[in-house]
Chain A
């Protein structure tokens, strides 16, 4: 956080750059599009369930792209699905963030060589902010990916959106 620490001791005034305030608000409530693709989706589910509890980072699954801030591409993207994902991405309001979860979404994973119907990496279709490797990545790895995304958002500038 850092933003509000000890700032209240002298009066109820917080002085902060508006950028920091916006970024802080954004990174602490990343609503993800509830959207599972393949095996990785089960680990994503496990991450948001009781044991690992995604909620404590402010991540709540939303079921419609219009209300989502981030989308976790959790699994193998096939050619048939890729066009739909592109459309989902375009439906999301900016700022929007993408976490590519698992080898399949990163680069085709185990299907890179003979997968005639597998897209070899979601970044061929939409831009990706954070890549989480693994097949499937452990929930801890996904949490790490989320923290990385938060770091990225923290350093964003309002003037020019990075990436």
Chain B
């Protein structure tokens, strides 16, 4: 006798502990097997692009903070770069160095949350606490520098909102030496943990050509084994002066491009960020961080698309200027938005519990997906 089975539709979210915010996934399942995943977005659509059209160029900066709220520095920077390119502004050396340092610190802070929540979602709660403990160090550096813990409004068009705190260099150096030793803790706790490997290795394998065709970027793309990093491949600012490696997924615990690879790429990226900070921190030149800030931001007519490597991948800003003080149109190419698209491909044929691991390894921030 054979039992009659039926496929079932299961809703995950918008309120769900593991969807990293307000994402709704519509799973079509056959028993525990996932046949299809349909993400439904828009639960956090905050109308960024409309706001950008209604504001002056410099007023848009605080709104960019709120796109990818785990990596606000990167968002500010991408936007500032786009407007600077449109207006042909050259920013002082000191500003470039500070920008690199804060952006790399931000990358570490952002990866800490990403790794922690990825682990917590699949049951390893302890690393989450450890990572948040270390994240507080970075937040306190930022708080000294610009007065906010999360949304900084620090990188302005042509410069910075404040100069760095007198203790900045000392504190950053302390953090770098502290964290270099502590990152090993993460490896011991989580990376080579048997249970964690069982849950993530060979799960959600993303082949390279699919990744490129879907436009994936950041750790999601590098986990599939290609060393594509905009800091190296389309260099902006002063990244060409620093020596760093681009970690890629090698399939150490399973196939190339599985969840564990994407996880591991992030861990190693934090080390590389520390390396960049070390190289930059001693060479911050003297100068005025606000000297290049234009009195009135009124770019010429034209369009510009710039992209930077944010912790989650390629963050692009497309700005159309009609020669006024407000942007005519700002479109954000959000890395999470594009990376999330591939979720359906990755989840097919896995179990329901694996969807959580895969979603965590893609690492989305809903503020940026929905904008």
Contacts and interface: CB of A to CB of B under 8 A. Distances in A.
Nearest to A33: B15
Given A37-B22, A84-B15, A138-B149, A111 B46 contact: yes
B289 interface: no
Contacts of A63: 16-17
Contacts, number: 96
Nearest to A91: B15
B366 interface: yes
Interface residues of A, number: 36
A50 B133 CA distance: 6
Given A43-B149, A63-B17, A117-B46, 20 more contacts: A33-B15, A36-B22, A37-B21, A38-B66, A39-B66, A43-B150, A49-B132, A50-B129, A50-B133, A51-B133, A75-B44, A78-B43, A81-B22, A81-B44, A110-B62, A110-B63, A113-B54, A114-B54, A115-B46, A117-B45
Nearest to A37: B22
B47 A38 contact: no
B198 interface: no
Contacts of B136: 46, 51
Interface of B: 14-17, 21-22, 42-47, 50-51, 54, 62-63, 66, 69-70, 113, 128-130, 132-133, 135-136, 139, 149-151, 366-367
A98 interface: no
B369 to A, nearest CB: 11
Nearest to B134: A50
Contacts of A88: 15
5 contacts: A46-B132, A80-B42, A81-B44, A111-B47, A136-B149
Interface in A57-105: 61, 63, 65, 75-76, 78, 80-81, 84, 88
Contacts of B16: 63
Contacts of A138: 149
Interface string A30-53: 000111111101110110011100
Contacts of B367: 38-39
A4 interface: no
Interface of A: 33-39, 41-43, 45-46, 49-51, 61, 63, 65, 75-76, 78, 80-81, 84, 88, 110-111, 113-118, 135-136, 138
A39 B69 contact: yes
A42 B44 contact: no
A78 B69 contact: no
A36 B13 CA distance: 11
Nearest to A39: B69
Contacts of B45: 78, 80, 117
B66 A110 contact: yes
Given A37-B44, A76-B46, A111-B46, A42 B132 contact: no
A117 B132 CA distance: 32
Contact of A51 (B66, B132, B150, B151): B132
Given A51-B132, A51-B133, A39 B43 contact: no
Contacts of A41: 21
Nearest to A113: B54
B85 to A, nearest CB: 26
A88 B13 CA distance: 12
Contacts of A51: 132-133, 136
Contacts of A43: 149-150
Contacts of A80: 42-43, 45
The 9 closest A-B CB pairs, nearest first, are A39-B69, A49-B132, A63-B17, A50-B133, A50-B129, A81-B43, A51-B136, A114-B54, A115-B47
B150 A42 contact: yes
A65 to B, nearest CB: 8
A90 B170 CA distance: 52
A114 B21 contact: no
A78 B51 contact: no
Nearest to B65: A39
Contacts of A111: 46-47, 51
Contacts of B139: 46
Contacts of A114: 47, 50-51, 54
A42 B43 contact: no
Contact of A34 (B17, B51, B66): B17
A67 B133 CA distance: 29
Contacts of A65: 15
A135 B151 contact: yes
Contacts of B51: 110-111, 114-115
A136 B47 contact: no
Nearest to B24: A84
B22 A117 contact: no
A6 B367 CA distance: 51
A116 B43 contact: no
